[in-house]
Amino acid sequence: MSFTADSSRPSSEINVTPLIDVLLVLLIIFMVIVPVTPHGLESSLPRQTGPSAPLPPVQVRLSVGDAIVPVRYSVGAEQMNYAEVQPRLRALFAARQDRTLLVAADRNLSFQQVAAVVAEGRLAGAAAVVLRGLDPSTEP
């Protein structure tokens, strides 16, 4: 309590200067103590279950054929027709943890031909699909 100069009775006003000083000191202390944590994407890394090396992704190759068979399909090194692609992919994905499908397509193919194979891969259980152009030097 403080006394004013013109009266001898106590005043009921709060002196806010010490209160502001205490609040500023507390604010500075909390700013120093609380670290600034960076906010990014929430992600979790897969746990490695064994010392085995990861398997390469399942590869489907599409290449331009001849006039009789306009598109050739192969899963790995095995040549097949379009109807056999999905069952073969389903069998491969059933035995694997990594469900990545790599589609290597000839640049002369239409979008619909490549999209049909991507759809078959998704129906077979592919979690991710990677598209790339087919390198003619690796053609069997």
**What averages of pLDDT result for each successive group of 10 residues across the chain (140 residues)?**
62 86 93 73 66 66 62 83 87 83 83 87 87 65
Predicted pLDDT at 98: 81
Quick one: pLDDT at residue 76?
80
Residue 72 near residue 84 (C-beta atoms within 8 A): no
What is the number of other CB atoms lying within 10 angstroms of the CB of residue 121?
A: 26
- Tell me what pLDDT residue 26 has: 94
Q: Distance of CA 89 to CAs 57, 118, 124, 134, Å?
A: 11, 11, 6, 19
Question: Are 64 and 109 spatial neighbours (Cβ–Cβ below 8 Å)?
Answer: yes
Residue 31, pLDDT score = 86
- The domain ranges of the chain are 8-33, 58-138
The architecture (CATH level 2) of 58-138 comes to 2-Layer Sandwich (3.30)
pTM to 2 decimal places: 0.54
The pLDDT, as a whole number, for residue 14 is: 82
